[in-house]
Each structure stands twice: as structure tokens, then as C-alpha cells.
Chain A
Amino acid sequence: MLELLEITGIATLQDSGRRGWNKFGVPTSGPMDWFACQAANFLLNNPPNSATIELGLGEITFHALRNTVLAVTGAGYEVENYIWTFPLWTTFYVRAGWTVRVKKTGGGNWAYIAIAGGFDSPVIMGSRSTYLRGGIGSALKAGDVLHSFTPTTDLLKLAARNFLLVGQDLSCPYKTQPEGCGTYVIEVIPAPQADWFTPEGIRAFYESEYILSPSFDRMGYRLQGPPIEKAITKELISEGMTMGSIQIPADGQPIVIMADAPTAGGYPKIANITRASLPLLAQCEAGVSKIRFRETTVDEAREKYRMLYHPFGI
């Protein structure tokens, strides 16, 4: 049990997502960074679909009402109380009465706080994921008390586990690309309207650098860079889209569809980010990180996704 004392930014509960309602217009939701969310539950031996706190662009301070073990993953944060500071991707024992703060330290946008046993909250339409615009769940706020299920593993066995030691092949998506700096290479698969753009537009997309605009949220990431020119100017008849779809509106600046985005849309899509690359894009630092797109195939993307997923078991 945790009592939330102070929150800045946006904190919501997210499990692995709400499936089966896209055709009614309900987005999948779930984590912005699926890898970090999975890893946090994995460190605690939680069921992979357990709810975690997703903390975005802010800080959270809470008070433990019972002894427990927490895991915090993601990018751009650290965990502290009066005595110690813990890096992300580890677990730590928290005694009843302790106050713990997840603190922003730099680049990166999202942190995932998992608790041994997983957070217990109402299941709405098959999921504990929050979807604020649809009125499903609500943003966490100071004063909220979060309950958890009884962990199946002894707390002491879970304390001080480190993902890089526990994950067999260390294939953390940030390993080769340190958080919040340098250039992120994001792999994409050409989308159904890839041939709607001029050769110059396609070249701009694959050969230029883009940056994340400061106005981004769980619905979408607007990117800024050389505009992508269309060869076909007719309107697209609205069709389904998915997290990672890159839409090109009239101004030529890409919009990447993220976890809470509408399930269908009418802007042409030039490409779609692979599952393996989504965590990297999710954690790009607005205005700082440089983003380059690289084309890949469905089969290669699947192989990379399987490798990343490997530590969690298939």
C-alpha cells in the first residue's frame, strides 16, 4: 500500500493495454515504453500484465503504508529517500513509514513504478490502463492510496535485483543509445500510403534529423524537421492506425501516434515505427534528442522484437 503525497507531471496506472475495443474507438492505451513497463514487472516476478504507475514529465513522492519491494524503470529519473539514492532498473526494499521520491534527473520522459504483487485497481473493459480522454480511470493525485496484490515471491528475494543482471542477454533498448543525448536511430516499416509522397519528401524523411516538439503527450508526438512533401493531395478516407504510425498532415511535419491516440485517422501515413524502436522514441528528449529514421522489413523488425522480449519469456 502506497499513499501518494505529491505529484507533478502526469501519473496514471497502466497495464499492458486494453485490447478488443479498437473497433469502437477505444485506444489500446498501456505504457508509452512497453519495454520499461515489462521490465519493472519482470524484476518483481509479477504477472506480465500487472498495473504499474507510469510517471511522465514530473516527479512523485509517496509514503509506504506496508513493507514492500518496488522496481522503477524508464529513462531520466532516479529514486531517493532520506538515506539512499537508487538508479532505475533495480528493485529496492521499502519499509512501512518510509517516504520515497521518484525524481527527474535529465533526458527521458517516462518512468514505471511497479510494486511486488502488482497494483490492484478496478478492471474496466478488461484492463487497468487509464485512458483520460475517454473517462476510463483518472490521473493519480496527492492523497490517493494505492493497494497491491499479495506477492507470490518472498520480499527479501526480490530486493536489490538489477535488470542488467537478471535479464539474460542485456538487450535493454537504451544500452547502445544512452538516455537523452545523441542521435536516436528509429527503425520504421513503410506504411500503406508511403507512395503518396514525392521522392524529395521520402528523402527528407529518411535522410534528415527530426526533433521532438515540446507539445507532446500520451496521444501523439509531433516532430519538427524538413517538411515531407506529398505527391498525392487527395484526402485519405479514414482507416485504422496503430501506435507508431507516422502521419503527415498538410504542413508536412510528422505526427507519431502514441498509446492514447485515436484508433483511426485520415492523414496519410509514410511509415510505422517498429515495436523494438518504440521505447526509444517514447523516451526522446523534446528539443534535444535527434531522431533519424531507418527503413527495415517486417521480418527483421519481428526478430528484433523477439530478442528484446526474450528476457520476459515468450
Chain B
Amino acid sequence: MLKPLGDSSILVQLGDEIDSALNQRVHTLDALLQSIPTVIETVPAYCTVLVHYDPLITTYNQIKNRIEEKISQLDESTHRPSRRLEIPVLYGNASGLDASTLLSTSFDLVAATLGLSPSELIRLHSEREYTIYMMGFTPGFPYMGILNEKLTLPRLSTPRTRVPAGSVAIAGSQTGIYPVDSPGGWHILGHTPLKLFDPASETPFLFSPGDIVKFIPTN
């Protein structure tokens, strides 16, 4: 289903749910769309791809036809191979949070709220491989899933004003990593020393949408 979003973007909707197979199709289509010369850039998300184009050089109908051709090739296309990345995580109470909210954000409190021992919490979070469904919120923030349902927690009702870069966190059925210091309402389980975003680098991002991530507990 294709719909305009303003006069220079088209939203392609492939489904209406958060689902790994559907999201794989999104990333496969996203790869196919890159060969259309009038596409400026794309934003793959859970079940949609937003396609940005320049209306000075193409029309809505022209770009719509090109996208429809790519959608029709989707079923014969092999899945774009996913990269698999291992991310070291130091699980435990986060440091560097603003002091006023420190107590409400600790690893221990999450474990207690979920009724899990610390080691169980670490095992349940790190045993699965997660797909990066989409990236956004801040530069390089990966939305990953699906979490074991024993780890489901609603977001904090009041987001923290500052979550340090590298914080590994959970909310709902998803997990993510804060790439830059920012406000945030997810529950922090630990910290990775890896840099997810470096604007000065030739390759500024560690992750790409569609990558597979495995957390490795470290000391």
C-alpha cells in the first residue's frame, strides 16, 4: 500500500504488526529501492519504508510506479543477508545517571520488579539474538526485539532527563542501546563500552537496520 506523505515522500506499508518475518521483507524491499536513481533516501521501520524523493526531478506517479515494480519483485528476492554483531555488556547498576532518579533506574530494581534473580535477568536478556527492526529516536538508536516475555515492563512514566551513551535498556517487548547522552524512558540493565555513533568517522554507525545483535555479558 503506497500513500503520499507530503509532496516529496511516499510511505510504503507492507503490513500492520511488529513481526520478524514482516520486518525482514521491509529490509529486503529497502535494499531493492536503493537502485531507483530518483530516490534520495529511505527510512525502513517495523512494517513500512518511507521513500524520500526530489519533486523537482520526478513526479509522484513516476516514483510510485518504480516502487511498485520493486514490490512485485519482492517475493522472488532472496533476503538480504543480515550481519551478526556481538555486543559486550557490563550488566549491573548504571552509573552516570542523574542522582535524583538513580534509585528508580537500577538493575537491582528491575530484577526485583520482574521477580528475577540478577543472574536470571542477565541470562534472559543475553540468550536471544535480536533483530534491529529500525533505527531512530537519536542518531544510531537501534530498536531491537523480541524480548522474552518475562522481561516485559512498561516505560517509565516520567522519562529520565539524561541517560548516558552506551546504556543497554528494555521497554515493552524491545531492547535498545542509547548511542548518545539523551533523555529516555527505558529501564537500564547495563552498559556497553562500544561507541555506536561517531560523526567524525567514515562509517559513523556501528549498526544498520536489519542487523542481528547478540549481547555478551562481561565483567
Q: Name A residues whose Cβ lies closer than 8 Å to a Cβ of B.
A: 19-26, 124-125, 133-136, 189, 191-192, 237-242, 244-245, 262-265, 269, 272-275, 298-299, 301-302, 305-306, 309, 314
Q: Is the CB of B5 within 8 A of A272?
A: yes
Residue with the highest number of chain A CB atoms closer than 10 Å, among B57, B139, B199, B205: B139
Q: Can you list 17 residue pairs at the A/B interface with Cβ under 8 Å?
A: A22-B43, A22-B50, A23-B42, A23-B43, A24-B140, A25-B138, A125-B199, A135-B199, A192-B11, A237-B17, A237-B47, A240-B49, A242-B50, A262-B138, A264-B45, A299-B60, A306-B56
Q: Which residues of B contact A309 (CB under 8 A)?
A: 56
Instruction: For A298, list chain B residues within 8 Å (CB).
Output: 4, 7, 60
CB pair A134 B43 closer than 8 Å:
no
Whole-angstrom CA separation of A302 from B6 in the bound complex: 10
Closest B residue, CB atoms, query A194: B3
Question: Complex Cα distance A28/B136, Å?
Answer: 13
Q: Which residue of chain A has its CB nearest to the CB of B17? A: A237
> Are the C-beta atoms of B41 and A20 separated by less than 8 Å?
yes
A239 touches B50 (CB 8 A): yes
Which residues in B have their C-beta under 8 angstroms from that of A274? 6-7
Residues of A within 8 A of B140 (CB): 24-25
Interface pair B136/A136, CB less than 8 Å apart: no
Whether A23 pairs with B5 at a CB distance below 8 angstroms is no
- Chain B: minimal CB distance from A187 (Å): 9
Give every chain A residue within 8 A of B139 (Cβ-Cβ): 21, 24-26, 134, 136
List A contacts of B50 (CB < 8 A): 22, 239-242, 264
Question: Is there an interface contact between A25 and B11, defined as CB atoms closer than 8 Å?
Answer: no
Chain B residues, Cβ within 8 Å of A191: 3, 5-6
Question: A241 — which chain B residues lie within 8 A by C-beta?
Answer: 5, 50
- Is there a chain A Cβ closer than 8 Å to B141's Cβ? yes
B window 142-185: CB within 8 A of A: 143, 180, 182
Cα(A58)–Cα(B211), bound, Å: 44
* Given A192-B13, A264-B45, A302-B55, A242 contacting B5 (CB threshold 8 A): yes
Report the separation of the CA atoms of residues A124 and B16 in the bound assembly, to the nearest whole angstrom: 36
Docked complex Cα distance between A214 and B208 (Å): 37
| Contact A242 B52, CB 8 Å, known A25-B141, A305-B7 | yes
Instruction: From the candidates B9, B18, B136, B137, name the one contacting A237 in the complex (CB within 8 A).
Output: B18
Bound state CA distance, A20 and B205, in angstroms?
13
Q: A265-B136, A269-B5 are known contacts; what are 13 more A-B pairs with Cβ within 8 Å?
A: A19-B40, A21-B41, A23-B135, A23-B209, A25-B135, A26-B139, A124-B199, A192-B3, A238-B45, A240-B11, A262-B137, A299-B60, A309-B56
- Once the chains are docked, how many angstroms separate the CA of A314 from the CA of B143? 39
A232 to B129, CA, bound (A): 34
A contact residues around B4 at 8 Å (CB): 189, 272, 298
> For the complex, is B46 an interface residue (Cβ under 8 Å from A)?
yes
A264 touches B43 (CB 8 A): yes
Q: Does B190 contact A (CB under 8 A)?
A: no
Chain B nearest CB from A273 CB (Å) reads 7
Question: Which residues 27-70 of B sit at the A interface, judged by CB distance below 8 A?
Answer: 30, 40-50, 52, 55-57, 59-60
Q: In the bound complex, do residue A237 and residue B55 qualify as a contact, i.e. CB atoms below 8 Å apart? A: no
Query: Within the complex, what minimum Cβ distance (angstroms) separates A31 from chain B?
Result: 15
Question: Are B135 and A24 in contact (CB-based, < 8 A)?
Answer: yes
Q: Which residues from A are CB-within-8-Å of B209?
A: 23-24
Please measure, in the bound complex, the distance between the C-alpha atom of A275 and the C-alpha atom of B136, giving whole angstroms. Answer: 23
- With A and B bound together, what is the CA distance between A264 and B134 in angstroms? 9
Q: Tell yes or no: B8 within 8 A of A by CB.
A: yes
Are the C-beta atoms of A240 and B45 separated by less than 8 Å? Answer: yes
Partner of B48, one of A20, A239, A262: A239
Residue of A272, A299, A314 near B6 (CB, 8 A) is A272
Q: Which residues in A have their C-beta under 8 angstroms from that of B30?
A: 23
